[in-house]
Amino acid sequence: MNEQTARAGEWRPAGRRRPGGTARPRAAASARIRVIAAVAVLVPLAAAIVVLPWFAGDAATGTVDYDAVREAPGPGHWFGTDDAGRDVLARAAAGARVSLIVAVTCALVATVLGTLVGAASGAAGGLVDAIVMRLVDGVNAVPHLLLGILIVALYRGSLWAVIASIALTHWTTVARIVRAEVLSLRSRPYIDAAISGGASRRTVLFRHLLPAVAPQSALAAVLLLPHAVWHETALSFLGLGLPPHLASLGTMVADSRDDVLIGAWWTIAAPAGILIAITLAVAGLAGRWRDRLVPRRRSELAL
């Protein structure tokens, strides 16, 4: 074989890289950059949410100052004031605290409910699995926002109604993910060995299947967090979420509608910026977690 033939045999199509090339290091570096950027956003944001409302006191929650109505951003108020003279940044930090408490509660309730339903459906199989999946399809057939509005309208102004409206409309996605994982795990040798050894379905479910799907459930809870924040914001923006006197990102966005029309754009800048920052930061961390989880699950399934 001459030198030209040897070189021709080493040719690779465009876009493909040899093993040990630079594609994997570049992907790893990009993932690290996303994680660093997410942490750089979340740490100052968390500090502001915790610290600012304490320093601002009543200026962020209830006390009004009509001598400082709609002041533009400046040294005294870095993000300006709203239509009641309250500091926009401090009020947005207090509102983000309330919105995150609601979102975390909704994400946890939806994840626990979806995990239990999905695991039970996948483990039972047969008629039970078919009935549960038709229930999931029925919930998904109704628009989540419309169903949430219906639930909140029955108990308007109730914090628990907002939590229930979000949690009861977002558990189905988790249930489908967990069910798919359980169906794939049922064919694993150690599950067959447990059943052959006399283990009951309940034992197999709680001792083997639920611990195996815990990483997927935790990832689903993290991904539900920004979605729940936006859902609460939408309900409050429509006037059906949290009561107006309770600061949240949704109520602040709703209150800023008239301010933006008269040129006071800064009243929406802080809550909108916090919403975008939470979404992008959580998406970056969850994406890195998913990238690390998927290869590990593939290696486990290959055993």
Q: Dig out the tokens for 204 from the structure.
A: 């197999």
Residue among 226, 232, 191 at smallest CA distance from 208: 191
* 43 domain residue, yes or no: yes
* 52 domain residue, yes or no: yes
Condensed to tens digits (0 to 9), the pLDDT of residues 36-85 reads 766 776 677 777 676 666 655 554 455 667 777 888 888 877 788 887 77
Q: Write the CATH number for 268.
A: 1.10.3720.10
Question: Whole-angstrom Cα distance, residue 93 to residue 38?
Answer: 18
Residue 288: how many other CB atoms lie within 10 Å: 16
Residue among 218, 283, 227, 219 at smallest CA distance from 106: 227
Cβ-Cβ contacts under 8 Å for 52 (sequence gap 6 or more)? 60, 89, 90, 93, 94
* 128 domain residue, yes or no: yes
Condensed to tens digits (0 to 9), the pLDDT of residues 245-281 reads 677 888 888 888 888 888 888 888 888 888 888 888 7
Question: Whole-angstrom Cα distance, residue 281 to residue 272?
Answer: 14
Task: Please say whether the beta carbons of 212 and 183 come within 8 A.
Answer: no
* 28 domain residue, yes or no: no
- Domain hosting 43: range is 34-60+78-301
Task: Please say whether the beta carbons of 126 and 119 come within 8 A.
Answer: no
pTM: predicted TM-score of the whole model, two decimal places: 0.73
Condensed to tens digits (0 to 9), the pLDDT of residues 100-130 reads 888 889 989 999 999 999 888 888 878 888 9
- Packing angle, helices 88-124 and 23-56, rounded to 10: 130
* 187 domain residue, yes or no: yes
Residue among 294, 210, 252 at smallest CA distance from 90: 252
